[in-house]
Amino acid sequence: MRSKTGIQRGLRQEIEMADSSLSRAAGLSPPAGTAAVPRADASAPVLQSPGLLAPCNDQVAIPHRWLTAIAVMSSSVMQVLDTSVVNVSLPHIAGSLSSSVDEATWVLTSYLVANAIILPISGWLANYIGRRRLLLGMVAGFTLGSLFCGLAPNLATLIVFRVVQGATGGGMQPLSQAVLLEEFPGREQGKAMAFWSLGIIAAPIFGPTLGGWITDTYSWRWIFFINLPIGVLSLILISQYVLDPPYIGRGAGRVDAWGIGMLAVGMGALQIMLDKGQEEDWLGSNFIRTLCVLALAFLTGFVIRELTVKDPIVYFRHLRSRTFAAGIVLVTMLGFVLYGSLVLLPLFMQTLLGWTATIAGIWNSPRGIGTAICMPLVGYLLGKGWDGRWMLVFGFAVAGLAFFGYSHMTLQSGTWDLFWYQITQGVGMAFVFVPLTTLTMSPIAKQETGYATSLYNTVRNIGSSIGISFVTTWVARRSQFHQSVLAGNLSATNPLHQQAYAGLAPYLQQHGSDAVTAAQKADALLYGMLQQQATLLSYMDVFHLMGILFLAIIPLILLMRKMEHEKQREPHRRLSSSRK
């Protein structure tokens, strides 16, 4: 006796065969995995492949679509969360595996390099292997990589399996976006992307706090083990609810081995340069100069080759669309500012305000609260036909004002001062993420969505890496500048310096120091205060610059075309009413 699953599979195949015959008779080629029923009018129900009935109104999202959204979002959240939780555990990893913290940073670098190489070609890989098959393989590989990372007996083994994680996790986000943009029609795309973005935004915000708590309470190995149940759940859901669209041609086209090779060398060199630049003093290091030359040469060669080769692995021709090109610039700057601030703000809290890592993590989360509150509203407004361009203008303006608020903080700033600035930033980000994705992808044909989302996520990734490197370098350099300027005020002729010194020296003498020691300690205390103020000014400079950048890119939004919902791409599972 056949099992229930076998009966369902056989029935599904019979329906698909019948639908194919009907479509061929009508001169049509139905999408894979979709079954059509002959009907006399467009209002008749359409039988979906899993057995769900839904009305032909494409603006109604059926439960099946939301299960697909949960399937692809869970894999993306797992990948983003893993990236953020590992950062806070590096000292524990180094101590446990008998290595230095500098050596342990290769746990991050190796992951980022592998991720950066796979990310641009994930659209091509999906077309070559099959999107569903690739997504399942990536989730399975990432889950197994997490298991072996948690079991790693030494640093070398851990780095090897972090490379596996990076290679298998690189394509999860663009593939997830491509699935959602095709699965949800027209105005429903805003709701779908809002749901997906909520998890993607929350993961890097709450990840450090979660990672610190897991490491302190249990062990750093558990930051990898927590991926196992998420990975298994994602595999089950993807295998049940994600299907390949009909235009996916497995093995179609030739493999551009030269292009892949140039991309691997160029992106690898670029990522290592950005990750190690500040540590190696940038162009003062022969190592960084070599990486810079390699990245420039190989990436330039890669772009030229992809523009001329017959079967490119990255579609740069999409940049001919002014909407897509403007979106690429905007998302690059978004990655630069957002991820730069995700690094900068916790450092400010810990180094200048003296908060512990746990407290800093907790008070770094209000951004996620503001985003979580407003994200459903954004999806609703897009579904009602609001112009996404004006929502982008509002979002960038509000987030920019939040950064100007950060630039006015002092050493006496408290938790609630930061709270409201972060809520404001979170609200602005909610009005940026979803409209930016839907508008940027609106001119792209559905069969090229995977290529477009790969390029979109690649430039965002590059922007975030540049942003993190920039803020750490700029804070250090501006701190040195402000320190040299303020040091001129520490002189015996400055009345303020004399006043501060006159108050400190007697106080120290009253607490057991002789006159000479008290004078030395007073000078040291004053210089320490000067260093604090110089560092504070450097942070304020960077926050101010971020606010300016967000406001400066607003005119680019006007280059984007309004998204016409009635012309949106139909999802591959649904037959249009013209196929009756």
Average pLDDT (88-99) is 83
Helix (H) or strand (E) holding 405: helix 388-406
- Residues with Cβ within 8 Å of residue 294, at least 6 apart in sequence: 265, 266, 269
**Does 112 share its domain with 42?**
no
At 367 the pLDDT is: 84
**Does 355 share its domain with 267?**
no
Q: Is the pTM of this model over 0.75?
A: yes
Tokens of 216: 């302190």
At 439 the pLDDT is: 92
* Cα separation, 304 vs 173, whole angstroms: 26
Let me know: does 115 contact 263? Beta carbons within 8 Å.
no
Let me know: does 377 contact 391? Beta carbons within 8 Å.
no
Average pLDDT (82-106) is 81
Quick check: is 503 in a domain? no
Please identify, among 253, 271, 289, the residue that sits at the C-terminal boundary of a domain. Answer: 253
At 281 the pLDDT is: 84
Confidence of residue 249 (pLDDT cuts 50, 70, 90): low
Other CB atoms within 10 A of residue 495 CB:
7
Let me know: does 538 contact 344? Beta carbons within 8 Å.
no
**Does 349 share its domain with 339?**
yes
| Among candidate residues 130, 143, 111, the one with its CA nearest the CA of residue 32 | 130
Average pLDDT (443-455) is 88
**Does 119 share its domain with 21?**
no
Please identify, among 217, 233, 253, the residue that sits at the C-terminal boundary of a domain. Answer: 253
Average pLDDT (84-97) is 81
At 91 the pLDDT is: 80
Looking at per-residue pLDDT, the higher value among 151 and 130 belongs to 151
Q: Is residue 33 pLDDT above 50, yes or no?
A: no
**Does 448 share its domain with 568?**
yes
167-182 tens-digit pLDDT: 998 888 888 888 888 8
**Does 578 share its domain with 459?**
yes
Domain CATH for 325: 1.20.1250.20
Residue 257's Cβ-count burial label (10 Å; 0-12, 13-18, 19+) is exposed
Quick check: is 406 in a domain? yes
**Does 433 share its domain with 536?**
yes
- Strands 53-54 and 46-47, by their bridges, are antiparallel
298-331 tens-digit pLDDT: 999 999 999 998 889 999 989 999 999 999 999 9
Other CB atoms within 10 A of residue 575 CB:
21
CA 512 vs. chain centroid, Å, equals: 55
Quick check: is 493 in a domain? no
Quick check: is 16 in a domain? yes
Confidence of residue 43 (pLDDT cuts 50, 70, 90): very low
DSSP 241-284: H----TT--TT-S---HHHHHHHHHHHHHHHHHHHHTTTTTGGG
Helix (H) or strand (E) holding 54: strand 53-54
Confidence of residue 368 (pLDDT cuts 50, 70, 90): confident
- Residue numbers of the domain that contains 402: 319-487+522-580
Q: Is residue 53 pLDDT above 50, yes or no?
A: no
270-285 tens-digit pLDDT: 999 998 888 888 988 9
Instruction: Identify the residue whose tokens are 């869970």.
Output: 74
Q: Is residue 25 pLDDT above 70, yes or no?
A: no
Helix (H) or strand (E) holding 46: strand 46-47
Quick check: is 392 in a domain? yes
Give percent of the chain with pLDDT exceeding 70.
82
Tokens of 361: 């993590």
Looking at per-residue pLDDT, the higher value among 527 and 312 belongs to 312
**Does 578 share its domain with 540?**
yes
Angstrom CA distances, 116 to 5, 269, 455, stand at 39, 10, 11
Let me know: does 574 contact 341? Beta carbons within 8 Å.
no
Q: What amino acid occupies position 91? A: P
Residue 473's Cβ-count burial label (10 Å; 0-12, 13-18, 19+) is middle
Quick check: is 28 in a domain? yes
CA dihedral sign, ordered 257, 259, 265, 268: negative
**Does 557 share its domain with 430?**
yes
Q: Is residue 391 pLDDT above 90, yes or no?
A: yes
Helix (H) or strand (E) holding 381: helix 366-383
| Among candidate residues 399, 261, 281, the one with its CA nearest the CA of residue 330 | 399
**Does 249 share its domain with 261?**
no
Quick check: is 342 in a domain? yes
Q: What is the DSSP letter of 488?
A: G
**Does 147 share its domain with 192?**
yes
| Overall number of domains in the chain | 4
Average pLDDT (218-247) is 88
Quick check: is 512 in a domain? no
At 328 the pLDDT is: 95
Please identify, among 253, 278, 293, the residue that sits at the C-terminal boundary of a domain. Answer: 253
**Does 275 share its domain with 244?**
no
Confidence of residue 502 (pLDDT cuts 50, 70, 90): low
Tokens of 146: 């997490």
* Cα separation, 388 vs 493, whole angstroms: 59
400-430 tens-digit pLDDT: 999 999 999 988 888 888 889 999 999 999 9
